[in-house]
Chains A and B, each alone.
Chain A
Amino acid sequence: MLSGLIARARSLWKGVASPKRIDAEMEEEFRLHVDLRTADLMRKGLAPDEAARVARVEFGKTDHRRQDGRRARGLGPLDGLRFSWLDLKLGARMLVKYPGLTIVGGLGMAVVIAVSTTFFALASMLYAGLPLDEGDRIVSIEYVDARWREEDPRIIHDFEAWRSELKSVTDLGARRTIQRNLITGDGRAEPVSVAEMTASGFRVARVPAMLGRHLLPSDEIAGAPHTVVIGFDAWRARFGSDSSIVGRDVRLGGVTHSVVGVMPQGFGFPLAHQYWTPLRLDASDYERRKGPAIQVFGRLAAGATLARAQTELDVYGQRLALDLPRTHAELRPVVMPYQDAFNGSDEIWGISLMQLLIVLLVGVVCTNVATLVYARTAARQSEIAVRSALGASRPRIVGHLFAEGLVLSGIASAVGLAITQIALDRINAILVSLDAPLAFWMSIHLSAGAVVYAVVLGALAAVIVGVVPALKATGTYVNASLQRLSSGATRMQLGRTWTALIVAQAAFAVAVLPVAVHTARVFIGYGTAKPGYLTNDFLLFRLRMDRDAPASAGAATYDREFTARYRARQADLVRRLESEPEIASLVHLAGIPGVAPRANVEVEEVAPVVVGTERVDVGLFDALNVPIVAGRMFNAGDAGVAVGGEWRDADGDGFSEYRAGDAVATSTAVMVNRSFVRDVLGGANALGRRLRYPDRMGEGQSAVPTMWYEIVGVVNDYPSEPMDPDRPRSMIYHPLAEGELTEMMAIRLRGASPSAFGDRLREIVATVDPSLRVHDIRPFDVALREEHQAMRMTALGIGIVTASVLLLSAAGIYSLMSFTVERRRREIGIRMALGADRSRVVRGIFARALGQLAIGVGVGIVLAPLILRLEGPLTAAKMVTAVVVSVLMLLVGLLASIGPTRRTLRIQPTEALKEG
């Protein structure tokens, strides 16, 4: 039984893998047979010529024998499906002959193949392996809080314990990332990310330095000279590929470091770093679960597995949970492949699901194209019938139609890959402009895997658009069709399938398209929104100050001193900037406008609502020319004085966040925007209305809970649209208190170009204090554009996909409807010949055609609100979209029926009868 199956599989494989060899062998065998038979016949007395002739006649045609032979080897069905260059050429000719189908179908498939392949290329980047020696044995170790399944990275004590205890992970190392100004000899200051890393990190990576050496354990000792290792890209860009760099001094913030080595190109361990300094943290300085956040990594010891390392860590975790229940009861140490610490393994499910949905979208689009192809195939019924009569088998005809589908999907795949390439280039450009380098093991490019993926999708598409309609068209009715061919009429018997197709097509269009059109509209609206206020002359930047990782005992003092220093330095800088002749004005910003936090608010005489709330510089609206609609602007008297606010690094990541102190509200004035008046107050007068927050606003906000605030003015929406649909539209503005610091500032320039002023700004800041860093210097309009970048890309993607599906659905309904009417030509002709009333006939045609369409639209309309509701509450705009799409589909159907109806009505009765 099994040996039989194996023999069959082997024989089939031989036939598929080397079909020419099989044919040649059969030829050889047949020749020998005929020759031997000829010789036998000659021995029986026949003349040579006669003997050869008889032998050939007895054997029969070798072509037939060969075909019989292939069938006996089980290759018959494959022979039918085989297609030649001629088929492909004919397929290409069909594309030219039906340009509408080619453009609509090809474009639709190209777009979805591009979307799917782009997603695949981006998703597969997450699964890339580490390009390091035995990279799969490098691991990350994290502490996860079992209550909220979140990582707790403040594990300096545990790191030291693991370093001495763990047997299954060696070369244990740790790092944290800090930001410092890199100040070179020419006085240029530029903020850079520096990996403070244990020397063991380089041993884990097993990459030797290109110049000099990498960090050594001796560099980690407190009091040792400060050293830095730099990466290849930084060496090239900042140090002009200076080969004598080793031994030179550079300053990182306020500290001078000696360059000891340069790492080779492509090295970015632990993430995407270009500067490395030794990690000099002493666990005894910190309380448990306090101090700086670190990432811990190492290499699996020889022979150890991930499971064994996890077991060892479990034992450690259980012991600590018992010994230190206050801090460690809920903590679980977890070891994982290195990259998983960055990828988030729980995202993999989401990504896979998304990929599946996108493949389904490809299926939906291809089904639409298949409908178009089906209608065309139906129109070619007579051609198929004739070919069948001339001896073409069903597999042969299906193979031919598959070749046509393959040409179309092949072109679509090629165009799709070109679009993917453009999209990936664009994404890379965005990452460069955002100064957000990818992890060193990742890269965004059109990989061989992605090309294979697109080709497979193309083949799948060819099967759907080529084979499915072909199987349907070459089904049971070819013979019937052939019979009717003799009488001049060739009509496919469509019946229920046809009706089902029209109903399904219309239902799909009306049910699913409104949500797509609506989403596309929303995204395009946000992605292309103009700010609605002055941005061109402004330069935006963030000001940060270097922080150390203070010991737990002195942390409170450190934060106080840090805040005082930051305040003093910022005041110095503001004075310095205001004295610059090129600077017209300076305002503080709590963040990029349009990205406001939400808050619950109670407005007098109105039910509680959720709106956005933001603190703004009292001079902001004036400076930006945001028009006031009612009441007055904030003035200096509204500002009040901040008391007790502090900059702290609450999560140990090296960044300070502002924490408001006990809020002392000296002013109750707030402003609101137009949307607030319209949506919350229903358009009523806002001035003098009072509002309050039932609870504290977010971190860094200092409105007093339960205190009443009074609306003193209304401004235009600022910006005209929030940054994305999730952001609130209705806004409440509080004045920033005097002395309250924000990281972000905007300066309005007089005459100077914002993009050219950046270097001058860095220079000014560096002279105020080398530990002050300027980040994200961008002209205001560029900053807004960048914030919108992702939104615009998404809008573009959704817009293109929606437009293609809409176009395909319309084309599908058009071809189905026009073919339905065309089919009834003869019947209508006869009715006209028998003197039927013209208008009644027309009504009849439309009633039947539109009846089918109406059922589909009806089903769709029932489903549409359900699907629309999945995306969010049902709004009037959504319903309008649904109605517009339904009407559009009905109109398309109607339009499709007009042409064939007119042609049918013009038909001469004699012609109609002849068709019968």
Chain B
Amino acid sequence: MPDSAELLPGTLDVLILKAVSLGKLHGYGVLLRIEQISGGALQIQQGALYPALYRLEHQGLIDSEWGTSDNNRKAKFYRLTVAGRKRLGEETASWNRLVQAIARSLAATPQSI
């Protein structure tokens, strides 16, 4: 089992945006996709998933439509909107800057000061 990591506050939204950017997904699918792309490292609180989905939909970052799931059940599928794609780009860039800054900070040695 890979090492699991705590989800940082505020990062669920961007992970959902990323997950649905890879293809339209229903709610449970989003959960699985995040686990999959994080290599199983990130476990999403099931209770937090749907409010986040609805919030993003409310903000117009994702869009939804009803369709049929793999096992022939009626399911609601989410996909990224143009505004969502733009936001994902911004968030990703911002995240990368933060990671690099923190990594640099943590890699600091007495000699490098």
Contacts and interface: CB of A to CB of B under 8 A. Distances in A.
Interface string A874-899: 00000000000000000000000000
Contacts of B71: 36, 39
B46 A59 contact: yes
B73 interface: yes
Given A11-B58, A59-B46, A69-B51, 20 more contacts: A7-B59, A11-B57, A11-B60, A29-B26, A29-B27, A29-B50, A29-B76, A32-B74, A33-B28, A33-B46, A37-B28, A37-B46, A60-B46, A65-B50, A65-B51, A68-B50, A69-B50, A72-B50, A72-B52, A73-B55
Given A33-B28, A35-B73, A36-B28, A68 B59 contact: no
B95 interface: no
B74 A8 contact: no
Contacts of A69: 50-51, 54
B51 A4 contact: no
Contact of A65 (B26, B47, B59): B47
B93 interface: no
A74 interface: yes
A72 B51 contact: yes
Contacts of B12: none
Closest 7 CB pairs of A and B: A7-B60, A72-B54, A72-B51, A72-B55, A68-B51, A36-B28, A11-B58
Nearest to A26: B50
B36 to A, nearest CB: 13
Nearest to A31: B73
B69 A72 contact: no
B37 interface: no
A71 interface: yes
Interface of A: 3-4, 6-8, 11, 25-26, 28-30, 32-33, 35-37, 39, 58-60, 64-65, 68-69, 71-74
A7 B58 contact: yes
Contacts of A72: 50-52, 54-55, 58
B83 A4 contact: yes
Contacts of B73: 32, 35
Contact of A71 (B46, B51, B83): B51
B59 A58 contact: no
Contacts of A37: 28, 46
Contact of A30 (B50, B57, B58, B82): B50
Q: Do most interface residues of chain A lie in helix, strand or loop, or is the interface mixed?
A: helix
A8 B47 contact: no
20 contacts: A3-B82, A4-B59, A11-B60, A28-B74, A29-B76, A30-B50, A33-B27, A33-B28, A35-B73, A36-B28, A36-B71, A37-B46, A39-B71, A59-B46, A60-B46, A60-B47, A69-B50, A69-B54, A72-B55, A73-B54
B42 interface: no
B46 A8 contact: no
**Size bracket, chain B contacts:** 20 to 34
Nearest to A5: B60
Contacts of B69: 32, 36
A60 B83 CA distance: 31
B10 to A, nearest CB: 15
B26 to A, nearest CB: 7
A8 B59 contact: yes
A35 B70 CA distance: 13
Contacts of B54: 69, 72-73
Interface in B47-88: 47, 50-52, 54-55, 57-60, 69, 71, 73-76, 82-83
A4 B47 CA distance: 25
Given A59-B46, A65-B50, A74 B58 contact: yes
Nearest to A65: B50
Contacts of B82: 3
A11 B57 CA distance: 8
A36 B55 CA distance: 23
Interface string B11-54: 00000000000000011100000000000000000110011101
Contacts of A30: 50
A26 B27 CA distance: 11
A420 B54 CA distance: 49
B42 to A, nearest CB: 16
A39 B60 CA distance: 32
A913 B51 CA distance: 51
B47 A68 contact: yes
A58 B51 CA distance: 16
Contacts of A26: 50
Contacts of B47: 59-60, 64-65, 68
Contacts of A58: 46
A59 B45 CA distance: 8
Contacts of A11: 57-58, 60
A153 B95 CA distance: 82
B75 A32 contact: yes
A6 B60 contact: yes
A65 B69 CA distance: 22
Contact of A3 (B50, B60, B76): B60
Nearest to A15: B58
Given A59-B46, A65-B47, A72-B54, A32 B27 contact: yes
Nearest to B69: A32
B87 to A, nearest CB: 10
A127 to B, nearest CB: 42
A822 to B, nearest CB: 46
Nearest to A58: B46
A11 B81 CA distance: 15
A8 to B, nearest CB: 6
Contacts of B51: 65, 68-69, 71-72
A3 B81 CA distance: 11
Nearest to B47: A60
A288 B55 CA distance: 78
B7 to A, nearest CB: 16
Nearest to A33: B28
A32 B28 contact: yes
Contacts of A29: 26-27, 50, 75-76
Nearest to A70: B54
A677 B8 CA distance: 98
A69 B57 CA distance: 11
A182 B60 CA distance: 76
B31 to A, nearest CB: 8
A65 to B, nearest CB: 6
Contacts of A35: 73
A68 B59 CA distance: 16
Nearest to A66: B50
A71 B58 CA distance: 10
Contact of A25 (B58, B59, B76, B83): B76
A591 B51 CA distance: 82
A28 B27 CA distance: 11
Contacts of B27: 29, 32-33
A8 B58 contact: yes
Contacts of A33: 27-28, 46
Contacts of A64: 47
Interface centre among A28, A33, A69 (most CB of B within 10 A): A33
A688 B50 CA distance: 103
A425 B82 CA distance: 62
A889 B54 CA distance: 57
Contacts of A71: 51
B35 to A, nearest CB: 11
A39 B72 CA distance: 14
